[in-house]
Amino acid sequence: MGFSDVGAQTSDTKAQTSDTKAQTSDTGAKSSDAERNYRTREREHRTQEREHRTQEREHRTQKREHRTQKREHRTQKREHRTQKREHRTQKREHRTQKREHRTQEREHRTQEREHRTQERKHRTLVRKHRTQEREHRTQKREHRTQERKHRTQEQEHQTHNPKYQTPLNPIEVITMKLTAIGDSGIKVEFPGEVTTKLNQVIQQFCVALQDAEISGVIEWVPAFNSVTIYYDPTIILFHELAEKMNRLVSTKTNQFDPVTQLFHVPVLYGGNVGPDLERVASYNNLSIEEVIKLHQQPNYFVYMIGFLPGFPYLGGLNPIIATPRLDEPRKSTFAGAVGIAHEQTGIYPMESPGGWNIIGKTPIKLFRPEQREEVFQFKAGDMIRFYEVSKEEFQHITDQVDAGVYKLKQEIIENN
């Protein structure tokens, strides 16, 4: 082969190469178009995917919102149910309050009815009590009228009976002193030493005062040597009452009752109920037994009632056992305490401060406010004699007194 053939082949080869290049360039152009289209499609696909995802997100968001709305709706439903329940509860409470209020109103009305019933009962009792008081006063008046008739009959009998020819004596008082006690009281003092005879004169004066029934006189209080009279100054004046007192003393009256009641009073001496018994014995240089014996011997005369309701001031104590009061009074002295103060002895009717020397205790009651008639056990003019009892006897008498069946021993003695 020559150089011409080789060149021809070379040129052919070049031509083929150029064709190949041309084809390759056409193919590359086609390939770039396809790539562009592919990328465009990819972009569109991605865009669609993004839109799809966006839609999915929106859908999920809507789902969440729907669920949230559902929850809110359920919450609202629950709240509505709760409100309904609360409303029902409030209704029930309101009904309960109404019932309670009605119940309270009924109870209040019932209480008002009961109060009115009690008031009616109280008024009825008051009326009964007033009626009983009126009847009691009427009976008293009738009793006084009968007493006057009886005395009149006795006087007539004595007038016609030779045995009683001695005329009735006036009250044995030569002089007396009248003293004003404020604007509604007058004190009538009698002369002489305090004796049983003077006390009888005072009692005789009180009997005459009672018989006189002076209008305006309310009450009178006898003492050792005097009588204090309380009156209504709108009914009677001082000088008018003083004139009546002078007339009363000079007027003839019946003799004093010739008999006296003697009461026998049981006493438990010493121990816890007689804390000052040793003091009395030591002060008088006596034994305890001697003090007890000497205290029981006399018949004590009740001069007056005072200091406390029912407290008897007794005269007749043996001077051998007379003892001064305590230097410092007790803040409390028990009821029934039997004591000595100087030349007097007495009985405490109730618990009270006092400075008397307590030597024993009596189980009897001296002040009985529950009784309508005989409120006090003793009265002025009575006589008392003490006798010793053991602890067992004291307790037995106490039980009888509490049961209201005990009767105090007493006897009638003639006045000399």
pLDDT at position 157 is 54
Query: Over the Cα atoms of the chain, what is R_g?
Result: 62
Residue 167: name the closest of 107, 254, 256 by CA: 254
pLDDT at position 170 is 43
- The Cβ of residue 253 has, within 10 Å, a number of other Cβ atoms equal to 18
416 class by beta-carbon count within 10 Å (0-12 exposed, 13-18 middle, 19+ buried):
exposed
Output the tens digit of pLDDT for each of the chain's 416 residues. 554 555 556 666 666 666 666 666 666 667 788 888 888 888 889 899 999 999 999 999 999 999 999 999 999 999 999 999 999 999 999 999 999 999 999 999 999 999 999 999 989 888 888 888 888 888 877 876 786 676 566 555 544 444 333 333 444 444 678 888 888 898 888 877 777 777 777 777 888 888 888 888 888 888 777 888 999 988 888 888 888 888 877 664 544 555 688 999 999 999 999 999 999 999 999 999 999 999 999 999 888 887 788 889 888 899 999 999 999 999 999 999 999 999 899 999 999 999 999 999 999 998 887 776 677 888 888 889 999 999 999 999 999 998 888 888 888 876 55
Place of tokens 């406390």: 308
The residues near 188 (Cβ < 8 Å, ≥ 6 apart) are: 176, 177, 178, 205, 226, 227, 228, 229, 245
Handedness of CA 186, 188, 189, 194 (dihedral sign): negative
Q: What are phi and psi of 268, to 5 degrees?
A: -100, 115
Q: Pairing between strand 312-315 and 226-231? A: unpaired
Q: How far apart (Å, rounded) are the C-alpha atoms in residues 254 and 168?
A: 6
pLDDT at position 84 is 92
Task: Supply the angle between the helices 196-212 and 238-250 in degrees, to the nearest 10.
Answer: 120
